[in-house]
Amino acid sequence: MSARTSPGPTTLRRIVELACRAPSIHNTQPWLWRISDTRIDLYGDPTRQLPVADSRGRSLTVSCGAALHHAQVAADAVGLDARVARLPTPGSHDHLATIDLAPGRRSAHATADLRALERRRTDRSRFTSWPMSDERLAALSRAVSRDGVQVVPMTNVSERFRLEFLLRRAIARESSDPRYDEEQRQWIDRSPADGIPSAAVCAGADPRPRMSRFTSHDPMDLDELVQSSDGLLLISTEEDDRAAWLQAGEVLSAAWLRATTDGLSVVPLSQVVEIEETRLALTHELLGGRAAPQALLRIGWQEIGHSTRPLTPRRPVDDVLIT
Ligand SMILES: Cc1cc2nc3c(=O)[nH]c(=O)nc-3n(C[C@H](O)[C@H](O)[C@H](O)COP(=O)(O)O)c2cc1C
């Protein structure tokens, strides 16, 4: 299908609504959007930045990058060409992107991508023990890596051992500082429109244990957090600035949607990239000093091939549109 006429305001609004389904750190949804004619502008919302876990605004920008990729997927689904300018206003801290939309032709993967966007969620249940093959991780990495952003499968045993050691250290650092815990708690059951519902992080009546930063505070429990059959992907960038963070978020979204299409489940393990000491260690020990780590993803199979957990809430689109 192709769009023959310029998109109207209803279509642009729908694109923003779908873009807001993107994952974001603690479901902060740290974005604002402006719609004008055939253009959508994306802004970071500094009032939604996490002051403790994200003092530089890196995770905020990665989250906005994921929303930017979601917007491109949504535009493709309605047959629109999306021309993206990243950080289009020199000197503006918050203006992250401009998306110019024009009549175009849907790509061959538009329907599958949209379906993945609508189904994707963070399911923290323990994966099955069905192992992730190295080939599958490598294929996923090849499909979504782009200039300046690499997606590195962590399959080598000694690298993986080192990564798990650093992850354990990062969790220990955050667990020993009550400010992290306090900040996290503020985003659990925060409101019906944002934050993480406790049902998404605690097992409740469900017998399948949840594995995440929200449940495992003892760093020694890492064996519970990462199973040997889980796949691990490290997203890294050549630069370590806002442009790189934004693109890392786009790649994070692309990897997550691709994994969803393949029937895989994805859970980020972010502590190791939040703590400066372990970020640096990752850079030098696992990335040869040549790249900055931006996201670590745990990837595996859910029991029935896809998640049936409820979707987490989003703010009404009117709350994120500015004039
Ligand atoms: C940059 C970023 C970092 C994240 N880090 C974690 C994490 O460390 N642990 C976790 O369980 N989820 C993490 N998430 C997932 C978010 O908590 C999740 O996207 C959000 O709660 C919305 O839920 P949904 O993904 O089910 O739509 C992260 C997401 C993003 C975009």
Q: Give CA–CA dist 206/292, Å, rounded.
A: 38
* Residue 245, CA atoms < 13 Å, CB-side half-sphere: 18
Give residue ranges with CB within 6 A of ligand 1: 23-27, 59, 62-63, 66, 121-122, 124, 196, 212-213, 267-270, 312
Q: Give CA–CA dist 75/117, Å, rounded.
A: 12
- The whole-number pLDDT of residue 136 equals 95
Q: Which helix (H) or strand (E) holds 268?
A: strand 264-268
270 alpha carbon – ligand 1 mean position (Å): 9
- The whole-number pLDDT of residue 213 equals 78
Q: Is 82 helix (H, G, I), strand (E, B) or coil?
A: strand
Q: Which atom of ligand 1 is nearest to the CA of 23?
A: 19
Question: Is 9-118 CATH 3.40.109.10?
Answer: yes
- The whole-number pLDDT of residue 219 equals 54
Q: What is the DSSP string of 120-172?
A: -----BPPPSPPPPHHHHHHHHHHH-BTTEEEEE--SHHHHHHHHHHHHHHHH
- The whole-number pLDDT of residue 201 equals 83
- Across the chain, mean pLDDT equals 92
Look at ligand 1, atom 12, and give the residue with the nearest C-alpha: 268
- The whole-number pLDDT of residue 229 equals 86
Among 21, 54, 122, 212, residue to substitute to test ligand 1 (most atoms within 8 Å of Cβ): 122
- The whole-number pLDDT of residue 127 equals 85
pLDDT tens, residue by residue, 206-229: 666 666 777 755 655 666 678 888
275 alpha carbon – ligand 1 mean position (Å): 17
Backbone φ and ψ for 163, nearest 5 degrees, come out as: -60, -45
- The whole-number pLDDT of residue 159 equals 94
> 129 with 229: CB under 8 angstroms?
yes
Q: What is the DSSP string of 180-246?
A: HHHHHHHTBT--SSSSB-GGGTS-TT-SSPB-STTT---GGGHHHHS-TTSEEEEEEESS-SHHHHH
Among 24, 190, 225, residue to substitute to test ligand 1 (most atoms within 8 Å of Cβ): 24
- The whole-number pLDDT of residue 309 equals 82
Which CATH number fits the domain 134-301, given the four candidates 3.30.300.30, 3.40.30.10, 3.40.109.10, 2.60.40.10?
Answer: 3.40.109.10
123 alpha carbon – ligand 1 mean position (Å): 10
pLDDT tens, residue by residue, 84-96: 999 999 999 999 9
Q: Spell out, as residue ranges, where the chain has pLDDT lower than 70.
A: 1-4, 203-211, 216-224, 305-306
> 120 with 256: CB under 8 angstroms?
yes
Of 265, 278, 136, the closest CA to residue 210 belongs to: 265
- The whole-number pLDDT of residue 211 equals 64
Domain with CATH 3.40.109.10 in the chain: 9-118, 134-301
